[in-house]
Amino acid sequence: MMSAQQIFLRDAMRRLNMTRDSFADRIGVRRRALDTWLLPEDSSEFRSMPGIVEKFVDEIVQREAPASGDTQSVHTSLRERIAVEGKPQLLSVDQFSRESLEDLFRIADIMQPIARRQKVSRVLEGAVLGNLFFEASTRTRVSFGAAFCRLGGSVCDTTGFTFSSMAKGESIYDTSRVMSGYVDALVVRHPEQGSVAEFARATNIPVINGGDGPGEHPSQAMLDLYTIQREFSRLGKLVDGAHVAMVGDLRYGRTVHSLIKLLALYRGLKFTLISPVSLEMPAYIIDQVERGGHVVEQSQSLEEGLRGADVVYATRIQKERFANEAIEGYTPEFQVSQALINRVCDAGTIIMHPLPRDSRPGANDLSTDLNHDPRLAIFRQTDNGIPIRMAIFAVLMGVENQVQHAMRDVTWRTPSRIGPDDASFDGLD
């Protein structure tokens, strides 16, 4: 399982912005030794890091980590640093700095043994989550619910407009205020951009944006970036300087809107945006990313755009957002398939998708012929939704410092690999 040693070393590498190779060099140990310290405790090759190395790493982090001079983070909790008008809410990735994001990732690392069903925690015992989903959802709704339950809380769900009082003309203000009397936190998904912020203004309990129309999907972007960092750690890469190719519906796809802004907190990235002209990324988002000093290229050729990419992020065409517009130009040339990946990418590329992928013929979404390719990270992404959403709840509800000391062993058994096609490195990094 993920040990305190792994959490400590991962956090140190993140803060120092170093690959495993450069970190091993910096602390004067062999890469192989570092790898054995980073293995799960129950692996036969796991080794304990000597106390003297731990002390040395701690000193280096104190002295050299770019954020360690930031006094704000020493005196202010993450909950306060990301607050919206003083309230603990998660509406947009714009609430985050690189440092606060990496603080959240450290908390997600702490959650891993619970997410992997090795430990249980009851820190949210008695708390109730309200899941208000006015749009289709499987993973976001269930993973937020499961994350809350795994921290000891309980969940009440409502789905769609038909069975809610909004079908009777109730306002967002009234719905939000009423729900606040029943539950301790709300996750809201709604088809209109800005609507979740409206829910948030009408209450003082934590509100999380589970997707507001074509606006944002902040928790998805966080789990995506967390996945990228974990995959890069294994591959010896850094987010700084990476080449990220985004493919598909970049106009209405809220996941890519949040993800590109979050990645822009890092340095010197190159983005290749590949979509038909009618589905291009909104200009205000591209401007924001370019102002951050990144290179953004737009292309309609998948073959050229994917060449040399470290990350290929494919998306589904958001058909539900095209009122009566025809979807023009989404032809098979936009499909990310095994043959294409083999032609233009190398072993160090990772292939991602927020899911669901449209697997119906003619949809031209991410091809299922990649299912056995270990570069396909889509299920590692969905798995990471649990520790990230647990971390978000823990921060917004102020229990993040209690979790590590309040874990017990599980009493039931789970398979060590959840899916039959999971790559052998899954869970071992």
CB closer to ligand NCD out of 40 and 214? 214
**In the complex, least distance from residue 249 CB atom to ligand NCD, rounded to whole angstroms:** 8
Q: How far is the CB of 215 from ligand NCD (least distance, A)?
A: 10
* Amino acid present at 299: S
With binding defined as CB under 6 A, does residue 245 bind ligand NCD? Answer: no
Residue among 88 and 211 whose Cβ is closer to ligand NCD: 211
Closest C-alpha among 425, 107, 105, 135 to residue 254: 135
Give residues with Cβ within 8 angstroms of 385, minimum separation 6.
139, 140, 143, 147, 219, 220, 223
Question: In the bound complex, what is the minimum distance in angstroms from residue 261's beta carbon to ligand NCD?
Answer: 15
As measured in angstroms, the least distance from the Cβ of 387 to ligand NCD is 16
211 contributes a contact to ligand NCD by CB under 6 A: yes
Q: What is the contact mask toward ligand NCD in residues 316 to 335, using x (rule: CB under 6 A)?
A: x-------------------
Q: Which is nearer to ligand NCD, 53 or 142 (CB)?
A: 142
Rounded to the nearest angstrom, the gap between the alpha carbon of residue 212 and the centroid of all alpha carbons in its chain is 17
**Is residue 254 near ligand NCD by the rule CB under 6 A?**
yes
| CB of 357 or CB of 375, closer to ligand NCD | 357
Whether the Cβ atoms of residue 171 and residue 198 lie closer than 8 Å to each other: no
Contact call for residue 139 and ligand NCD (CB under 6 A) = yes
Size, binding site for ligand NCD by CB under 6 A: 10
Residue 140 binds to ligand NCD (criterion: CB under 6 A): yes
Q: Which amino acid is at 198?
A: E
The one among 92, 229, 233, 255 contacting ligand NCD by CB under 6 A? 255
Least gap, CB of 285 to ligand NCD (angstroms):
15
CB of 419 to ligand NCD, least distance (A): 17
Contacting ligand NCD (CB under 6 A), which of 121, 220, 229, 275?
220
Q: What track of x and - describes contact with ligand NCD for positions 354 through 383 (by CB under 6 A)?
A: xx----------------------------
Q: Which residues bind ligand NCD (CB under 6 A)?
A: 139-140, 211, 217, 220, 254-255, 316, 354-355
